[in-house]
Structure 1
Amino acid sequence: MTLGNKIQELRKNKYLSQEAFAEVLGVTRQSVSKWELDQSYPAIEKLVEIADFFGISLDELLREQGKSINTSESEIQTINSTRFNREDNTVSTVGNTDKITISKEIVWYFIGWAVMMIIVILLFGLQYYFAGFLVIQVFIWTTVIWKIYRYIKSKSSKAEHLS
Structure 2
Amino acid sequence: MQIGRVLQKQREQRKWSQSELADKLNISRQSISKWEQDVSLPSFANVVAISDLFKISLDDLIRGDDELMDKLMKNQKMSATTKIVLWAFGIAVVLYGILMVAGVDAGSVHQWIRFPMFVSFVGLLVTINWRQLNRSLSKPAVIFGIILVTLFLVPEIYGFVQGFVSGMHAEYQGFWEGFNG
Bigger strand share: 1
Q: TM-score, normalised by structure 1?
A: 0.40
The structure that is helix-richer by fraction is 2
Higher relative contact order (CA 8 A, sep 6+): 2
- Tell me the TM-score normalised to structure 2 length: 0.36
